[in-house]
Structure 1
Amino acid sequence: MKILIVAATRAELSGLCNHFELPERDFTETPGFDLLITGVGMTATAFALGKHLSAAYSLVVNLGIAGCYEWKYPLGSLLNITQDTFSELGAEDKDEFLTIDTLGFGKSSYTAQNTVATTLFTALPKVHGITVNKVHGNKLSIKATEKRMHPVTESMEGAAVFYSCEQAGIPCIQVRSISNYVEERNRESWKIGLAVKNLNDWAIEFLTNS
């Protein structure tokens, strides 16, 4: 039984790929783990996992950078996303948002199910995130999202990984490195390089010592 590492882009795991000398492919198998690069967004992620997820894996590890709503976490911080929600899955009713749960067509929130006990993982702050099609960059929509959902992070893939793993009955974790705060779009304030470095350092140690 192996670990499946899942990321949206190879750039987010550049250090890991260089460290383990992985070829530039979307799906790579190694003796200790496999790597799946899905592409950006929940649709691409679900499709890629539909092709490659199987009972051969004992754990799925979703890695990537993310935006953060809480400024108490410094840029570059690593967070354990224990719950993730499809924030836009539902319907508008005038000024009110109706979740798919309320509509009776399914559920929007998914929880990471796993028994990973290594200190490297359990020491990470546990937070909940949202998965979006449109990254927030407008004050009004940010405030509305905070009021309705109280998220800590947002990504474009996390909930899709949790959904796929729940459907397949495979344990999973999601670790995100904070590259920016969720605010009006300001690329000059982002710390993508730092976030990627910290994420890759963590991932290499996790794969080497777990």
Structure 2
Amino acid sequence: MQPVIVCAATRQELSLLVRSLGALKSRRRGGRETYRGAVGELEVVLAVAGIGKVNTASALTALLESFTPSLVINVGCAGAFAGSGLHVGDLAIASAEVYGDEGVQTPDGWEPLDLIGIPSLERKGVRYFNEFPLAKLPAERAVQLAGALRITARRGRFVTVSTCSGTSGRGEELARRFDPLCENMEGAAAAHVSLLYDVDCLEVRGISNMVEDRDLSRWNIPQAVEKAQRFILKFLETYHEQ
């Protein structure tokens, strides 16, 4: 059975999975903290990639040069946009990831990479600029599992940013531009690299905060990362049945 790779930006977003799977430290790949565990006969490789797109892309590239997984899972927390139907403690499952910063600022406003005409990736005759689709089947199974577990989860587009949105105004701008459920700092890179290596990618994030004027008293990162990891653990437990 091919392994599954699970990556997260921080140790906090991965530590529950490491403990639950009895994962042991493995050889560092790409300079990143890496663990290997199992769910039954399914090997699971876990990596603390680091915050941001570059860290995620380099860590995942190193992993995909070392392993041939059946699935890459990107897990962590995210900020939900007003109107997404999500609240702190809910789960979001990505149908697509969008680079929210890459583009051109013109006198008429921001434009995506299509304006330049150079794709971020061209694969099998398809040119990808800002948006990268995630594998449909794992996401659908995740939605079904959430329903069976009576967990509030929504599937939709995510946006990946380099600068977290700390104002309601910025959140409204991104919501109008991309119609996303939530924002994060790594997901588009994980989707991009997975597509480059032709590996299915699933992204699940717990909602830690709303995208609004920044107020840390309204955040709950521990709850968000715990819920996301517990869900991924259940997903892995049923993965061999899929």
Look up the match of 2:61: 50
Look up the match of 2:161: 132
Aligned partner of residue 193 in structure 2, secondary structure: helix
Matched, 1:110 2:132: yes
Deviation of 1:95 (Å): 4.2
Given residue 137 of structure 2, which amino acid in structure 1 is its aligned partner? T
Look up the match of 1:184: 213
Identity of aligned residues (%): 27
Given residue 13 of structure 1, which amino acid in structure 2 is its aligned partner? L
User: Residue deviations 1:24-79, cap 9 Å, x none?
Assistant: 67112234211121100001101111111146101001111000003531211111
Matched, 1:193 2:204: no
Which structure's relative contact order is higher, taking Cα pairs within 8 Å and 6+ residues apart? 1
Which has the higher mean CA deviation after the structures are superposed, 162-171 or 98-107? 98-107
* Ranges in structure 2 where 5+ consecutive residues have no aligned partner: 27-32, 120-128
Given residue 177 of structure 1, which amino acid in structure 2 is its aligned partner? G
Look up the match of 1:12: 13
| C-alpha separation in 1, matches of 2:22 and 2:176 | 44
Aligned partner of residue 143 in structure 1, secondary structure: helix
Q: How does 1:1-210 map to 2 (within 5 A)?
A: 1-23=2-24, 26-31=33-38, 32-54=43-65, 56-70=68-82, 72-106=85-119, 107-116=129-138, 118=141, 119-120=144-145, 124-210=153-239
Please report the TM-score for the alignment, with normalisation by the length of structure 1.
Answer: 0.92
Deviation of 1:169 (Å): 0.4
Given residue 53 of structure 1, which amino acid in structure 2 is its aligned partner? L
Given residue 97 of structure 1, which amino acid in structure 2 is its aligned partner? W
C-alpha contact (below 8 Å) 2:157/2:180 kept by paired residues: yes
Given residue 38 of structure 1, which amino acid in structure 2 is its aligned partner? A
Please give the root-mean-square deviation of Cα atoms over the aligned residues, in Å: 1.9
Which has the higher mean CA deviation after the structures are superposed, 114-123 or 45-54? 114-123
